Chains A and B, each alone.
Chain A
Amino acid sequence: MKFAVVVFPGSNCDRDMYYAAKDVLGEEAELVWYTEANLENYDAVLIPGGFSYGDYLRCGAIASTSDVVSQLKKLAERGVPILGVCNGFQILLESQLLPGAMLQNKNLKFMCHFENLIVENNETIFTSEYEKGEVVSMPIAHAEGNYYCDEETLAKLKANNQIVFTYQNNPNGSLANIAGIVNEKGNVLGMMPHPERAAEAILGSSDGLKLFQSIVKNWRESYVAGA
Protein backbone atom coordinates (compact mmCIF):
# COMPACT_ATOMS: atom_id res chain seq x y z
CA MET A 1 0.00 0.00 0.00
CA LYS A 2 1.31 3.44 -0.92
CA PHE A 3 0.75 6.47 1.32
CA ALA A 4 1.18 10.13 0.39
CA VAL A 5 2.11 12.52 3.20
CA VAL A 6 1.18 16.00 1.97
CA VAL A 7 3.64 18.66 3.12
CA PHE A 8 2.50 22.30 3.35
CA PRO A 9 4.73 25.25 4.25
CA GLY A 10 4.64 25.06 8.04
CA SER A 11 3.79 21.36 8.38
CA ASN A 12 5.93 19.91 11.17
CA CYS A 13 4.60 16.40 11.81
CA ASP A 14 5.17 15.26 8.23
CA ARG A 15 8.27 13.21 9.06
CA ASP A 16 6.60 11.57 12.05
CA MET A 17 3.72 10.56 9.79
CA TYR A 18 6.11 9.32 7.11
CA TYR A 19 8.09 7.34 9.69
CA ALA A 20 4.93 5.73 11.08
CA ALA A 21 3.76 4.65 7.62
CA LYS A 22 7.11 3.65 6.19
CA ASP A 23 9.21 2.35 9.06
CA VAL A 24 6.72 1.28 11.71
CA LEU A 25 4.03 -0.06 9.38
CA GLY A 26 6.49 -1.15 6.71
CA GLU A 27 4.41 0.20 3.82
CA GLU A 28 5.42 2.46 0.95
CA ALA A 29 5.20 6.18 1.72
CA GLU A 30 6.32 9.42 0.13
CA LEU A 31 6.50 13.01 1.34
CA VAL A 32 4.86 15.16 -1.34
CA TRP A 33 5.21 18.94 -1.48
CA TYR A 34 1.76 20.51 -1.78
CA THR A 35 2.41 22.23 -5.13
CA GLU A 36 3.94 19.15 -6.72
CA ALA A 37 1.53 16.54 -5.45
CA ASN A 38 -0.29 14.27 -7.87
CA LEU A 39 -2.39 12.31 -5.44
CA GLU A 40 -3.67 9.96 -8.16
CA ASN A 41 -0.51 7.91 -7.60
CA TYR A 42 -1.36 6.91 -4.02
CA ASP A 43 -3.71 4.54 -2.20
CA ALA A 44 -4.23 6.77 0.83
CA VAL A 45 -3.42 10.34 1.84
CA LEU A 46 -2.11 11.53 5.21
CA ILE A 47 -2.37 15.24 6.10
CA PRO A 48 0.09 15.88 8.92
CA GLY A 49 -0.01 18.32 11.80
CA GLY A 50 1.87 21.58 12.13
CA PHE A 51 1.17 25.21 11.43
CA SER A 52 0.43 25.42 7.71
CA TYR A 53 0.91 29.03 6.56
CA GLY A 54 1.69 30.03 10.14
CA ASP A 55 -1.99 29.53 11.10
CA TYR A 56 -2.67 32.88 9.39
CA LEU A 57 -6.31 33.99 9.29
CA ARG A 58 -7.55 30.71 10.84
CA CYS A 59 -5.78 27.37 11.32
CA GLY A 60 -5.89 25.50 8.02
CA ALA A 61 -7.77 28.25 6.17
CA ILE A 62 -5.05 29.21 3.70
CA ALA A 63 -4.03 25.59 3.00
CA SER A 64 -7.67 24.77 2.24
CA THR A 65 -7.53 27.02 -0.84
CA SER A 66 -4.60 25.12 -2.41
CA ASP A 67 -4.86 22.97 -5.52
CA VAL A 68 -3.94 19.85 -3.57
CA VAL A 69 -7.16 20.26 -1.58
CA SER A 70 -9.16 20.28 -4.85
CA GLN A 71 -7.49 16.95 -5.59
CA LEU A 72 -8.38 15.71 -2.10
CA LYS A 73 -12.05 16.53 -2.70
CA LYS A 74 -12.09 14.29 -5.78
CA LEU A 75 -10.34 11.46 -3.94
CA ALA A 76 -12.75 11.80 -1.02
CA GLU A 77 -15.68 11.29 -3.37
CA ARG A 78 -14.04 8.20 -4.81
CA GLY A 79 -13.63 6.65 -1.36
CA VAL A 80 -9.84 6.94 -1.04
CA PRO A 81 -8.79 6.87 2.65
CA ILE A 82 -7.75 10.35 3.86
CA LEU A 83 -6.47 10.93 7.38
CA GLY A 84 -5.94 14.46 8.73
CA VAL A 85 -4.27 14.79 12.12
CA CYS A 86 -4.20 18.00 14.17
CA ASN A 87 -3.58 20.80 11.63
CA GLY A 88 -4.52 18.16 9.04
CA PHE A 89 -7.94 17.90 10.74
CA GLN A 90 -8.22 21.70 10.75
CA ILE A 91 -7.47 21.75 7.01
CA LEU A 92 -10.17 19.12 6.38
CA LEU A 93 -12.68 21.24 8.33
CA GLU A 94 -11.74 24.45 6.52
CA SER A 95 -12.02 22.56 3.21
CA GLN A 96 -15.51 21.39 4.24
CA LEU A 97 -14.43 17.79 3.70
CA LEU A 98 -15.60 17.37 7.29
CA PRO A 99 -18.34 19.38 9.05
CA GLY A 100 -17.74 21.87 11.87
CA ALA A 101 -14.93 24.21 12.90
CA MET A 102 -12.20 24.59 15.52
CA LEU A 103 -12.20 27.23 18.22
CA GLN A 104 -9.42 28.15 20.61
CA ASN A 105 -9.00 25.77 23.53
CA LYS A 106 -11.28 26.73 26.38
CA ASN A 107 -8.28 27.56 28.62
CA LEU A 108 -6.52 29.49 25.78
CA LYS A 109 -3.41 27.34 26.24
CA PHE A 110 -1.38 25.32 23.81
CA MET A 111 -1.60 21.87 25.33
CA CYS A 112 0.86 19.08 24.66
CA HIS A 113 0.34 15.87 26.63
CA PHE A 114 -1.17 12.39 26.44
CA GLU A 115 -4.96 12.06 26.62
CA ASN A 116 -7.16 9.01 26.97
CA LEU A 117 -9.54 8.57 24.04
CA ILE A 118 -12.57 6.35 23.76
CA VAL A 119 -13.08 4.48 20.49
CA GLU A 120 -16.74 5.29 19.85
CA ASN A 121 -16.95 3.71 16.41
CA ASN A 122 -14.80 0.73 15.45
CA GLU A 123 -16.69 0.11 12.23
CA THR A 124 -14.59 2.45 10.10
CA ILE A 125 -11.63 1.65 7.86
CA PHE A 126 -9.50 3.57 10.38
CA THR A 127 -10.60 1.85 13.58
CA SER A 128 -11.57 -1.73 12.75
CA GLU A 129 -8.58 -3.10 14.68
CA TYR A 130 -9.80 -1.46 17.90
CA GLU A 131 -12.56 -2.69 20.17
CA LYS A 132 -15.65 -0.52 20.52
CA GLY A 133 -15.33 1.42 23.78
CA GLU A 134 -11.58 0.70 23.99
CA VAL A 135 -9.63 3.40 25.84
CA VAL A 136 -6.44 4.40 24.02
CA SER A 137 -3.70 6.86 24.88
CA MET A 138 -2.42 9.36 22.31
CA PRO A 139 -0.76 12.77 22.63
CA ILE A 140 -2.50 16.02 21.76
CA ALA A 141 -0.54 19.14 20.77
CA HIS A 142 -2.76 22.06 19.87
CA ALA A 143 -4.14 25.45 20.83
CA GLU A 144 -7.21 25.29 18.58
CA GLY A 145 -8.76 21.88 19.13
CA ASN A 146 -12.07 22.95 20.63
CA TYR A 147 -14.44 21.32 18.14
CA TYR A 148 -17.65 23.19 17.38
CA CYS A 149 -20.64 22.64 15.13
CA ASP A 150 -24.31 23.63 15.24
CA GLU A 151 -26.93 21.42 16.88
CA GLU A 152 -28.25 20.12 13.60
CA THR A 153 -24.78 19.00 12.51
CA LEU A 154 -24.11 17.37 15.87
CA ALA A 155 -27.37 15.44 15.62
CA LYS A 156 -26.33 14.25 12.17
CA LEU A 157 -22.87 13.22 13.38
CA LYS A 158 -24.48 11.17 16.12
CA ALA A 159 -27.17 9.64 13.91
CA ASN A 160 -24.62 8.59 11.27
CA ASN A 161 -22.15 7.29 13.86
CA GLN A 162 -19.53 9.76 12.57
CA ILE A 163 -18.01 10.47 15.97
CA VAL A 164 -15.05 8.08 16.02
CA PHE A 165 -12.97 9.20 19.02
CA THR A 166 -14.01 11.15 22.13
CA TYR A 167 -11.87 12.43 25.01
CA GLN A 168 -12.30 10.63 28.32
CA ASN A 169 -11.42 13.90 30.13
CA ASN A 170 -12.21 16.69 27.69
CA PRO A 171 -9.08 18.91 27.73
CA ASN A 172 -10.11 21.69 25.33
CA GLY A 173 -13.87 22.26 25.56
CA SER A 174 -14.78 20.26 22.44
CA LEU A 175 -18.49 19.82 21.85
CA ALA A 176 -19.66 16.33 22.93
CA ASN A 177 -16.01 15.57 23.88
CA ILE A 178 -15.26 15.10 20.19
CA ALA A 179 -11.64 14.21 19.36
CA GLY A 180 -12.14 12.75 15.88
CA ILE A 181 -14.88 12.44 13.25
CA VAL A 182 -15.36 10.81 9.85
CA ASN A 183 -17.31 12.04 6.84
CA GLU A 184 -20.64 10.40 5.99
CA LYS A 185 -18.97 8.01 3.60
CA GLY A 186 -16.48 6.97 6.27
CA ASN A 187 -13.29 7.39 4.23
CA VAL A 188 -12.14 10.77 5.59
CA LEU A 189 -11.04 10.89 9.24
CA GLY A 190 -9.98 14.04 11.07
CA MET A 191 -8.63 13.89 14.61
CA MET A 192 -6.73 16.24 16.92
CA PRO A 193 -4.73 13.57 18.83
CA HIS A 194 -1.62 12.22 17.10
CA PRO A 195 -1.70 8.48 16.34
CA GLU A 196 1.67 8.78 14.55
CA ARG A 197 3.25 9.97 17.80
CA ALA A 198 1.85 6.92 19.57
CA ALA A 199 2.90 4.24 17.12
CA GLU A 200 5.75 2.65 19.11
CA ALA A 201 6.14 1.77 22.79
CA ILE A 202 9.33 3.87 22.96
CA LEU A 203 7.18 6.96 22.28
CA GLY A 204 5.12 6.30 25.40
CA SER A 205 2.25 4.52 23.66
CA SER A 206 1.73 2.25 20.68
CA ASP A 207 -2.05 2.70 20.73
CA GLY A 208 -1.96 4.72 17.49
CA LEU A 209 -0.46 1.88 15.48
CA LYS A 210 -3.77 0.01 15.19
CA LEU A 211 -5.22 2.99 13.35
CA PHE A 212 -2.64 2.67 10.58
CA GLN A 213 -2.93 -1.12 10.63
CA SER A 214 -6.71 -0.78 10.18
CA ILE A 215 -6.21 1.32 7.05
CA VAL A 216 -3.80 -1.21 5.54
CA LYS A 217 -5.90 -4.22 6.42
CA ASN A 218 -9.10 -2.75 4.99
CA TRP A 219 -7.32 -1.59 1.85
CA ARG A 220 -5.79 -5.07 1.30
CA GLU A 221 -9.17 -6.73 1.78
CA SER A 222 -10.78 -4.39 -0.77
CA TYR A 223 -8.09 -4.18 -3.41
CA VAL A 224 -5.70 -7.11 -3.20
CA ALA A 225 -6.95 -10.39 -4.62
CA GLY A 226 -6.63 -13.30 -2.21
CA ALA A 227 -5.76 -11.06 0.73
Chain B
Amino acid sequence: MKIAKIHITLKEGVLDPQGKAVQGSLHSLGFPSVEDVRVGKYIEIKLAEEDNAEKQVEDMCNKLLANPVVENYSYTIEEVVTQ
Protein backbone atom coordinates (compact mmCIF):
# COMPACT_ATOMS: atom_id res chain seq x y z
CA MET B 1 0.00 0.00 0.00
CA LYS B 2 1.06 3.57 -0.61
CA ILE B 3 0.16 6.75 1.17
CA ALA B 4 -0.01 10.13 -0.55
CA LYS B 5 0.58 13.12 1.71
CA ILE B 6 -0.79 16.25 0.04
CA HIS B 7 -0.30 19.85 1.11
CA ILE B 8 -2.62 22.50 -0.32
CA THR B 9 -1.78 26.16 0.17
CA LEU B 10 -3.17 29.44 -1.07
CA LYS B 11 -1.15 30.91 -3.92
CA GLU B 12 1.18 33.76 -3.15
CA GLY B 13 -0.61 37.04 -3.57
CA VAL B 14 -4.01 35.55 -2.66
CA LEU B 15 -5.27 37.15 0.54
CA ASP B 16 -5.62 34.67 3.41
CA PRO B 17 -8.04 36.21 5.95
CA GLN B 18 -7.77 33.13 8.19
CA GLY B 19 -3.97 33.40 8.23
CA LYS B 20 -4.25 37.09 9.10
CA ALA B 21 -6.57 36.29 12.04
CA VAL B 22 -4.18 33.59 13.32
CA GLN B 23 -1.29 36.02 12.97
CA GLY B 24 -3.17 38.58 15.08
CA SER B 25 -3.84 35.98 17.79
CA LEU B 26 -0.20 34.87 17.85
CA HIS B 27 0.87 38.50 18.27
CA SER B 28 -1.51 38.96 21.19
CA LEU B 29 -0.19 35.73 22.76
CA GLY B 30 3.28 37.27 22.82
CA PHE B 31 4.88 36.08 19.61
CA PRO B 32 5.79 39.41 18.00
CA SER B 33 8.30 37.66 15.72
CA VAL B 34 5.46 36.21 13.61
CA GLU B 35 5.69 38.04 10.29
CA ASP B 36 3.10 36.18 8.26
CA VAL B 37 0.77 33.17 8.57
CA ARG B 38 -0.71 31.16 5.71
CA VAL B 39 -3.28 28.48 6.55
CA GLY B 40 -3.55 25.49 4.24
CA LYS B 41 -4.86 21.93 4.14
CA TYR B 42 -3.22 18.57 4.60
CA ILE B 43 -4.79 15.48 3.04
CA GLU B 44 -3.70 11.85 3.38
CA ILE B 45 -4.83 9.33 0.80
CA LYS B 46 -4.19 5.62 1.05
CA LEU B 47 -3.69 4.02 -2.35
CA ALA B 48 -3.73 0.43 -3.49
CA GLU B 49 -0.41 -0.64 -4.99
CA GLU B 50 -0.26 0.91 -8.45
CA ASP B 51 2.46 1.84 -10.91
CA ASN B 52 1.11 5.26 -11.80
CA ALA B 53 0.36 6.56 -8.30
CA GLU B 54 2.04 9.87 -9.06
CA LYS B 55 -0.05 10.52 -12.13
CA GLN B 56 -3.19 9.59 -10.20
CA VAL B 57 -2.41 11.95 -7.33
CA GLU B 58 -1.66 14.77 -9.80
CA ASP B 59 -5.01 14.18 -11.47
CA MET B 60 -6.83 14.13 -8.13
CA CYS B 61 -5.26 17.43 -7.14
CA ASN B 62 -6.05 19.08 -10.46
CA LYS B 63 -9.60 17.78 -10.70
CA LEU B 64 -10.82 18.14 -7.13
CA LEU B 65 -8.45 18.46 -4.19
CA ALA B 66 -7.00 21.87 -5.11
CA ASN B 67 -8.59 24.79 -6.92
CA PRO B 68 -5.93 25.96 -9.38
CA VAL B 69 -7.39 29.49 -9.43
CA VAL B 70 -6.34 30.16 -5.83
CA GLU B 71 -4.36 27.17 -4.58
CA ASN B 72 -1.06 25.35 -5.09
CA TYR B 73 -0.38 21.79 -4.07
CA SER B 74 2.61 19.59 -3.34
CA TYR B 75 2.75 15.95 -2.31
CA THR B 76 4.91 12.99 -1.41
CA ILE B 77 4.06 9.35 -1.93
CA GLU B 78 5.39 6.85 0.60
CA GLU B 79 5.36 3.09 0.75
CA VAL B 80 3.54 1.76 3.78
CA VAL B 81 4.77 -1.53 5.19
CA THR B 82 1.82 -3.38 6.69
CA GLN B 83 2.62 -5.73 9.53
Q: Hey, which bits of chain A sit against chain B, CB under 8 A?
A: 57-58, 61, 65, 93-94, 99-101, 103-108, 146, 148-150, 173
B17 close to A58 (CB less than 8 A): no
C-beta contact mask, B56-70 vs A, less than 8 Å → 1, else 0?
A: 000000011101011
Known contacts A105-B17, A106-B15, A107-B17; A61/B64 CB under 8 A: yes
A103 close to B64 (CB less than 8 A): no
A58 close to B15 (CB less than 8 A): no
B67 close to A103 (CB less than 8 A): no
Select one of A93, A100, A104 contacting B17, CB under 8 A. A104
C-beta contact mask, B7-39 vs A, less than 8 Å → 1, else 0?
A: 000000011011001000000000000000000
Interface contact tally, CB-CB below 8 A: 37
Q: Is the interface of B mostly helix, strand, loop or mixed?
A: helix
Known contacts A61-B64, A65-B64, A173-B15; A108/B69 CB under 8 A: no
Residue of B with least CB distance to A94: B67
Q: Hey, which bits of chain B sit against chain A, CB under 8 A?
A: 14-15, 17-18, 21, 63-65, 67, 69-70
User: For the complex, what is the distance from the CA of A139 to the CA of B26, rounded to whole Å?
Assistant: 35
B70 close to A148 (CB less than 8 A): yes
User: For the complex, what is the distance from the CA of A99 to the CA of B68, rounded to whole Å?
Assistant: 11
B35 to chain A: closest CB distance in Å?
Answer: 20
User: For the complex, what is the distance from the CA of A149 to the CA of B70, rounded to whole Å?
Assistant: 8
User: For the complex, what is the distance from the CA of A58 to the CA of B66, rounded to whole Å?
Assistant: 9
Residue of A with least CB distance to B63: A65
User: For the complex, what is the distance from the CA of A146 to the CA of B64, rounded to whole Å?
Assistant: 20
Known contacts A106-B15, A107-B17, A108-B17; A100/B64 CB under 8 A: no
User: For the complex, what is the distance from the CA of A101 to the CA of B10, rounded to whole Å?
Assistant: 12
Residues of A within 8 A of B69 (CB): 93, 99-101, 148-150
A57 close to B65 (CB less than 8 A): yes
Residues of B within 8 A of A148 (CB): 14-15, 69-70
B80 to chain A: closest CB distance in Å?
Answer: 24
A57 close to B18 (CB less than 8 A): no
A61 close to B17 (CB less than 8 A): no
User: For the complex, what is the distance from the CA of A51 to the CA of B70, rounded to whole Å?
Assistant: 20
Residues of A within 8 A of B15 (CB): 103, 106, 146, 148, 173
